[in-house]
């Protein structure tokens, strides 16, 4: 059963489940943050208390991901969708950017890029319905940058390793940031909306190599200009204070759990429980992704007999397993099991899947 007893197993693809311990801390501080006599939502972003929250969140993220001083960390607004435009505005220039399209988010990124200038597809998984991830990346010395999406929430595929390219590497890590250790030094810019593994929707983390900014010469509207946000330490305008505060608590918790290697091992175990139920079902369930590309965050599968999908989802729902319906563009089912999703929930789902297959197989 979930803990506390009145919580469900929330398989939402995002915004997604947050750690109960973090929510309990937040609850206790809503009206009064550590004796300040006010909550974090009510606090001037220029106050010492909030500056401390921002400073600690950045320091803890730096420590968690092993981000060197060569990188700046920003907390912006507008989600990955705003980054889809800010990235080419700053870094496309008069050159060509190359996009690796492994699913729906990669498609959105390249569409927004196309609006700003020359972009080309370096690899596209469309032919096999975005079930896989490229093994080989072509030549790209001349590209303004290469863009990848490390995890695709809709198709449930992911890069399980840090790729190397010769052009600057820019990465949408929205749905698997903090799910495993990454070698940040291989990336020139990482961005991620908060609402999967970090906190509530409304904050976007950008990790940006200082060197990359030196190459920007174009004048930009201030809110679209990374240099402005770097210069003002994410305080050019009022930042999304509350979302940053929650992210900070999540970072602190992940550190207390032993950091990203421990988190990763747990994610392998959790997703393994669900993938096993698929693989041992004799074809009753079919994973969407090829085995090597399987996401640890979004387990996507269909039922061989598609007519059973609806009752699968509604029977699970009645048992407190919520939001298992797949995205309309892929169909079937999707179990999103981000960092904060409890291990018990994966076991409960796998048990239910076996039972359901037995009953309907």
Name the catalytic one among 58, 60, 105, 242: 105
- Spatial CA neighbour of 360 closest among 273, 281, 287: 281
Helix ranges, 215-342 (H): 226-231, 241-256, 260-279, 309-318
Q: What distance in Å separates the CA atoms of residue 60 and residue 305, rounded to the nearest whole number? A: 47
Asked if 351 is an active-site residue, the reply is: no
Q: Report the nearest approach of a second copy to the CB of residue 136 (Å).
A: 32
Measured from the CB of residue 301, what is the shortest distance to a second copy in angstroms? 19
**Nearer residue to a second copy within complex by CB, 201 or 268:** 201
Least CB distance to a second copy at residue 192 (A):
12
Selected catalytic residue, list 58, 60, 123, 172: 172
Distance in angstroms (rounded) separating the CA atoms of residues 330 and 169: 28
* Closer Cβ to a second copy, 37 or 307, answer by number: 37
- Give the start-end residues of each E strand in 82-152: 96-101, 118-124, 146-149, 151-152
- Comparison of 6 and 141: residue with beta carbon closer to a second copy: 6
Sites of contact with a second copy (CB under 8 A): 2, 4, 6-8, 10, 12-18, 20, 23-24, 26-27, 30-32, 35-39, 41-45, 47, 77-82, 84-85, 112, 115-116, 193, 195, 199-203, 219, 221-224, 236-243, 246, 320, 322-323
Residues found in the chain? 361
Q: Of the residues 60, 176, 196, 249, which is catalytic?
A: 196
Nearest to 153 by CA among 183, 187, 200, 196: 196
Instruction: Give 15 or 134: the residue with its C-beta nearer to a second copy.
Output: 15
Q: Is the dihedral of CA 216, 217, 222, 224 positive or negative?
A: negative
Say whether 123 is catalytic: no
Query: Token digits for 248?
Result: 């900070």
Instruction: Assess whether 322 carries a catalytic annotation.
Output: no
Check residue 327 and give left, alpha or beta (phi > 0: left; psi -120 to 50: alpha): beta
Closer of 47 and 302 to a second copy (Cβ): 47
Q: Are 156 and 295 in contact (CB under 8 A)?
A: yes
| Minimal distance, residue 340 CB to a second copy, in Å | 8
Report the relative pairing of strands 321-322 and 9-10 from DSSP bridges: parallel
Q: How far is the CB of 102 from a second copy (least distance, A)?
A: 19
- Kindly list the catalytic residues: 105, 172, 196
């Amino acid at each position: 059963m979930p803990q506390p007893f009145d919580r469900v197993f929330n398989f939402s693809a995002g915004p997604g489940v947050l750690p109960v311990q973090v929510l309990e801390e937040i609850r206790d501080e809503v009206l009064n943050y550590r004796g300040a006599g006010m909550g974090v939502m009510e606090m001037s972003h220029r106050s010492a208390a909030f500056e401390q929250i921002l400073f600690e969140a950045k320091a803890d993220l730096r420590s968690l991901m092993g981000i060197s001083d060569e990188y700046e960390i920003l907390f912006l607004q507008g989600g990955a969708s705003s980054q889809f435009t800010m990235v080419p505005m700053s870094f496309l220039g008069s050159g060509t950017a190359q996009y690796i399209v492994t699913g729906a988010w990669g498609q959105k990124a390249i569409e927004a890029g196309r609006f700003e200038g020359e972009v080309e597809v370096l690899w596209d998984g469309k032919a096999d319905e975005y079930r896989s991830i490229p093994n080989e990346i072509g030549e790209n010395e001349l590209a303004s940058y290469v863009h990848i999406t490390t995890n695709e929430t809709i198709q449930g595929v992911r890069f399980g390793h840090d790729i190397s390219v010769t052009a600057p590497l820019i990465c949408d890590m929205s749905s698997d940031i903090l799910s495993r250790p990454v070698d940040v030094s291989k990336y020139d810019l990482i961005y991620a909306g908060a609402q999967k593994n970090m906190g509530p929707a409304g904050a976007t983390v950008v990790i940006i190599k200082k060197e990359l900014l030196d190459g920007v010469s174009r004048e930009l509207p201030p809110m679209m200009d990374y240099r402005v946000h770097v210069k003002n330490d994410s305080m050019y305008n009022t930042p999304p204070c509350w979302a940053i505060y929650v992210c900070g608590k999540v970072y602190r918790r992940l550190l207390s759990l032993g950091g990203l290697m421990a988190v990763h091992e747990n994610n392998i175990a959790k997703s393994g429980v669900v993938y096993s139920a698929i693989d041992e079902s004799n074809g009753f369930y079919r994973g969407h992704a090829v085995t090597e590309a399987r996401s640890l965050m979004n387990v996507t599968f269909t039922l061989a007999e598609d007519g059973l999908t609806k009752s699968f989802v509604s029977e699970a729902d009645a048992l407190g397993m919520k939001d298992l319906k797949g995205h309309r563009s892929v169909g079937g089912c999707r179990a999103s099991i981000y960092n904060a999703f409890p291990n018990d929930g994966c076991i409960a789902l796998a048990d239910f899947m076996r039972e359901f297959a037995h009953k309907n197989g």
